[in-house]
Amino acid sequence: MPDDYLDPRLTERRNPRTATIDTASALEIVDLVGAEDAIVPAAVAGARQEIARAIELIEAAFRAGGRLVYVGAGTSGRLGVLDAAECPPTFGTPPEMVVGIIAGGLPALVRSVEGAEDDVNAGIGEMDARRVSPKDCVVGIAASGTTPFVRAALSRAQTLGARTALVSMSEPPKLLRETCDVCIVVPVGAEVVTGSTRMKSGTATKLVLNMLTTGAMIRLGKTWGNLMVDLRAWNDKLVDRSRRIIMETTGLDREQAGAVLDAAGGSVKTAIVMARCGVDRGAAERLVDQHAGRLRPIVGDPPPVRPA
């Protein structure tokens, strides 16, 4: 039997452990999928050095006034857009600081856009339209490692002088290995349903992207310990979280915490400095600026974690 139907990409191989999944009960399917998902964290940990290097590149881009630009297609693109969208409420960043680009544009977020991932001209055009520059770090996300839209975007970004990284679940082409500043390869293996990279590959991608933005933001001083002190309180839940953080770190009651938060213009970080140092908003903001957004040099260590 000829074997030219076999694909060298891990993401396109058949999984022998799930070859009879169509005969399984609902509970057996849950167990099979769960067993495959359990492989993912260790695979991500295997790329820890490369992930850390990418965090450093992204931090450097931010400190230079540049951006993190995600580019992907399908599930990979949607996950990049999702991670970008969650940075402003979590870390108080402007929307343009972390950008998510998906092949096919906004319509591709909610439905498949045929042929979008194969459009190399669109990948190049997105880099030009976004005015990618040497200040930026462009992270391509491609489960297979071969998506034409992503490869073209990375190539153009490199021509424009940006630093580049690739997140892939399969060994990328030699050219990408040689030209990207870092390649994060997470070999999660064949999917439960052959080629369905929304599964293990998607889970691994989400874990990696979480680490990239969270790690870079922590390095920028966007947290105090593990407290989210630069969040944007855009809904009732986040307003409540803001008040609770202030209460825990200053000893104020809920009403007082709400008052100082209002006086700080909604900034948790500014409110903490105002309450802990006994200064007004302007002085607190100057202190934060003088210490590059870091609270430890201003008010010391955060309080210890109280047991639940």
Q: Which residues are catalytic?
A: 86, 117
- Residue 163 main-chain phi, psi, to 5 deg: -75, 145
Residue 21: DSSP 8-state: G
Alpha-helical (H) ranges within 10-47 are 26-37, 40-45
What's the rounded Cα separation, in Å, for the pair 136 and 209? Answer: 17
Beta strands in 126-228 (DSSP E): 137-141, 163-168, 182-185
What's the rounded Cα separation, in Å, for the pair 145 and 185? Answer: 9
For residue 82, give Cα distances in angstroms to 70, 101, 104, 112, 245. 10, 10, 16, 16, 25
For the range 43-49, what are the long-range contacts, defined as Cβ-Cβ under 8 Å and sequence gap of 24 or more? 43/186, 43/187, 43/188, 43/189, 43/204, 44/186, 44/204, 44/207, 44/208, 44/211, 46/186, 46/187, 47/184, 47/185, 47/186, 47/208
